[in-house]
C-alpha cells in the first residue's frame, strides 16, 4: 500500500432504490486498507433501511440536506454540518424527509464493514447496480 490520490469520478456508484454509494476507499480500491470511506446520496422521501455493522464503527458527516435516523434510543435529526458516531452493532435507519438529496460521507474503522439488514429481502437492502454491492 502506498500514498495515492483517488479520483472519485473513476469510482462507479452502487445504486439502490433509495439512492447511491460511492466506496472511495476500502480494500477493493486500495489493497490492504484497514478502513473504508464512502459518499452517500439518499433521495428525497427515501430510506436507507435498518441495518447494522458487525465489524466497524461508523462516522456519518452530513454535507447537504438532512436525515432522520432511527436508532434504539429514538429518532435523531442529522443536519448539514453535523456528525454522528455509530458504535459497532447499533441498528440504524436513515430517512431523507427533506426536499433535496441528503449527501453525507461515511467513514468506517474497518475495510470490511460487516453490514447486515434487519430485512435482507426488503426494499433498499439489495443493490440495483454496481460492482461492489455490499454496504
Is 0.85 surpassed by the pTM of this model? yes
Is residue 128 within 8 Å of 17, Cβ to Cβ? Answer: yes
CA distances from 42 to 26, 62, 100 (A): 21, 11, 9
How many residues belong to the chain? 135
Task: Return d(Cα 103, Cα 110) in angstroms, integer.
Answer: 22
Helix (H, G, I), strand (E, B) or coil at 9: helix
Greatest mean pLDDT among 49-58, 96-105, 109-118: 96-105
- How confident is the model over 52-76, as a mean pLDDT? 94
Domain spans of the chain, in order of start: 13-117
Task: Return d(Cα 82, Cα 68) in angstroms, integer.
Answer: 13
pLDDT of res. 126: 84
Task: Return d(Cα 4, Cα 25) in angstroms, integer.
Answer: 11
CATH code of the domain occupying 13-117 = 2.60.120.10
Amino acid at each position: 500500500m502506498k500514498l495515492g490520490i483517488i479520483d472519485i469520478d473513476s469510482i462507479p456508484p452502487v445504486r439502490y432504490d433509495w439512492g447511491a454509494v460511492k466506496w472511495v476507499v476500502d480494500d477493493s480500491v486500495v489493497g490492504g486498507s484497514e478502513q473504508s470511506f464512502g459518499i452517500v446520496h439518499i433521495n428525497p422521501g427515501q430510506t436507507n433501511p435498518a441495518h447494522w455493522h458487525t465489524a466497524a464503527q461508523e462516522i456519518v458527516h452530513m454535507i447537504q440536506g438532512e436525515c432522520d435516523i432511527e436508532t434504539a434510543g429514538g429518532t435523531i435529526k442529522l443536519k448539514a454540518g453535523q456528525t454522528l458516531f455509530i458504535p459497532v452493532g447499533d441498528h440504524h435507519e436513515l430517512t431523507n424527509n427533506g426536499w433535496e438529496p441528503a449527501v453525507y460521507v461515511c467513514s468506517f474503522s474497518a475495510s470490511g464493514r460487516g453490514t447486515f439488514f434487519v430485512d435482507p429481502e426488503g426494499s433498499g437492502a439489495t443493490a440495483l447496480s454496481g460492482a461492489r454491492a455490499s454496504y
